[in-house]
Structure 1
Amino acid sequence: MQKSIYLPLVAGFALCASGTVAQTPVLQVMTYDSFVSDWGPGPAIEAAFEETCGCDLQFIGTGDGAALLARLQLEGPRTEADIVLGLDTNLIAAARATGLFAPHGVTADLDLPITWDDPEFLPFDWGYFAFVGNAGAEAPTSLRALADSDIRIVIQDPRSSTPGLGLLMWVKTAYPDSAADLWADLADNIVTVTPGWSEAYGLFLEGEADAVLSYTTSPAYHLIAEEDDSKRAWAFDEGHYMQVEVAAKVAGTDQPELADQFLAFMVSDAFQSIIPTTNWMYPAVIPEAGLPAGFETLITPDLALLLSPEDAAAIRDTALDEWRNALSQ
């Protein structure tokens, strides 16, 4: 008799246990591939957030940054993402136009070179685009000097990559009336155009090009992670275009409170301290321990270039046509 009572109780406990596992909330964050790579910030951020959220944080890798917007536009309200992380200021206007995002409600003391008050898109890091080459090699001092040289470069496709789109904005901002001419002269320098940053940087490291479109912070990776000071970011007289990377909550998420918790966590020291030596960018909030040793060696542009999201959207098609026409010749 006792056995017959005991078995249902055991079964009941088992059902409760399995039910608890099944009810663990899942938060899905759509981002770019390098963010979720083994060497990117994703694994460390996942572990840190799961310590506090009682949830299962899942990253969805989707190519490079600009591919995030394309996928989101394709999926629309059907998207399974709760958070989109990895858009930047050049994509914000188009992302906002989808109507898929909700206000983040986060108040944070951001350490950005610009004032930030966007109610939907919250920064998590920032940096300056730059061409990175090898120490001791020819180092042009401007985009024009690069175009007039025989230096071989690798760049990214602006239709799929935020660095590629950033270069379009850089050229168009620095040379508003002669961008097409500059692209025509740069075309001979371009070895290839890759879908994303990882492919381009890999080709540079393999010696397939003399330089690669990347960031002023890229040499910090080699210096800190590899104890290699052989890479240099070139300082250009026209200034350097900024990138501010952002995240936003999908309005249709079925985990709104968890999404809010993640966005608040994103500007905390636990998240921001991971960024400098994994995403190799400047954190949106300087960590309590400060920036890692080695960041003080990086170049600081004399002139920072940045268009508003609306201005970037307004010139995007023209800039893309100029780029496409020059490379098709």
Structure 2
Amino acid sequence: MRYSMIAAGIVLASAAQADTPTLTVYTYDSFVSDWGPGPAVEKAFEAECECDLNLVGTGDGAALLSRLLLEGARTKADIVLGLDTNLMAAAAETGIFALHGQEDVAFDLPVEWDDSMFVPFDWGYFAFVYDKTKLTDVPKNFKELADSDLKIVIQDPRSSTPGLGLLMWVKAAYDDGASEMWRGLSDNILTVTKGWSEAYGLFLDGEADMVLSYTTSPAYHLIAEEDDTKAAAQFDEGHYLQVEVVAKVAHTEQQGLADQFLAFVVSETFQEIIPTTNWMYPAVTPAAGLPDGFETLTVPENALLYPSGDAQQVRDGALEEWRAALSE
């Protein structure tokens, strides 16, 4: 009798698991890390949806697009979270995404948003972060950085959205002079990492003077560690803007859950999680405002951004300029 009761319990548990729908979300690795938004997002959404939220890390943001291009319509993702404006046009061309249906949301972004396929969930400005106790002569632009002996760590634009953002930043700031600027910067580059986490780790270990990150990165040190020694250098060419987005895969078998998740992303619950886990600005500012400490951050005087269609056209040429300059 005891064994039959155990067997019955196993059958009931298996049936319950089978009845629980799963929503699979492809995203970048830092989002699903223990210190990223993933754990809090998973807990909050599962409390609403009575489902299993399966967050799948696929590398950095640009690697996420590469996986989608490889899988195409065969992808197991229901939702893709972590592309940005530099990758949106290429992602749209895959034909795997559906309209989002979130037209009535009042987004709080530095730019107007009217895309019907991709929903913004956070945003920030790329910047070089440094330690104020170690670096006092801070470059005010790319030219001063190139003329200095400072060592920087950047990310690979083929696998990382910050790395790609740097390419677009230099191109937007210098246009036809981008190749020359990269040649000037080449001897400042200590190494090029696959993703953001590796690069930032090298900086924190003291391997480099500056690291490509975000103007919001010092907020982590200030709020989470009570450390005010990190800052973002303000460049007078302006700073390139990143808007990160989420989208629904058209052929998902979880249409209702996918739509529920998109609505959840722009909700107060999700947006309150972003500032102190992803360390970016929320796409919809929560009623309580931003956490204390965000008011101390560098605010660029000039925002640079290619529209998504233009970014796709610029990207290949900018990548070739970068590769050529670094191989000389």
* TM-score, length basis structure 2: 0.96
Q: What does the per-residue CA deviation read over 1:258-317, in whole Å, with 9 as the maximum and x for residues that have no partner?
A: 000000000001000000000000000111211000000001100000000011011111
Distance 1:164 1:14, change over 3 A: closer
> Is the alpha carbon distance of 1:133 and 1:12 closer, same or farther for their aligned partners in structure 2, counting shifts above 3 Å?
closer
Match of 1:141 in 2: 140
Secondary structure in structure 1 of the residue aligned to 2:273: coil
Q: Label 1:299 to 1:21 Cα distance change in 2 as closer, same or farther (>3 A).
A: same
Q: Which residue of 2 aligns with 1:103?
A: 99
| Aligned-residue CA RMSD (Å) | 1.7
> How far off is 1:15 after superposition?
5.0
Aligned residues: 324
How far the C-alpha of 1:14 sits from its partner, in A, is: 7.3
Amino acid at match of 1:230: T
CA 149–21 in structure 1, closer or farther in 2 if over 3 Å, else same: same
2:175 match: secondary structure: coil
Structure 2 unmatched ranges of 5 or more: none
Equivalence for 1:253 = 252
Task: For 2:5 and 2:164, locate their aligned partners in 1 and report how far apart those are by CA, in whole Å.
Answer: 61
* Moved >3 Å (runs of 4+): 8-18
Change (3 A) 1:185 1:13: closer
**Which of the pair has more CA radius of gyration?**
1
Task: Establish whether residue 192 from structure 1 lines up as the match of residue 191 from structure 2.
Answer: yes
Q: Are residue 80 (structure 1) and residue 79 (structure 2) matched?
A: no
Out of 105, 116, 124, the position equivalent to 1:127 is 124
What letter corresponds to residue 304 of structure 2 in structure 1?
L
C-alpha offsets along residues 127-159 of structure 1, whole Å, 9 cap, x if unaligned?
A: 000000110412100011111111100000000
Q: Which of residues 31, 38, 53 in structure 2 aligns to 1:35? A: 31
Quote the residue 1:231 is aligned against: 230
Report the CA distance shift for 1:143/1:22 in structure 2 as closer, same or farther (over 3 A): same
Question: What is the SS of the residue equivalent to 1:287?
Answer: coil
Which residue of the partner structure matches residue 168 of structure 2?
Answer: 169
Secondary structure of 2:87 counterpart: helix
Aligned residue identity for 1:120:
M
Unaligned runs of 5+ in 1: none
TM-score normalized by structure 1? 0.95
Q: Per the alignment, do residues 10 and 224 of structure 1 end up closer, same or farther by CA in structure 2, a change over 3 Å counting? A: closer
Give the Cα separation in 2 of the matches to 1:14 and 1:79. 31
Q: Shift in Å at residue 88 of structure 1?
A: 0.1
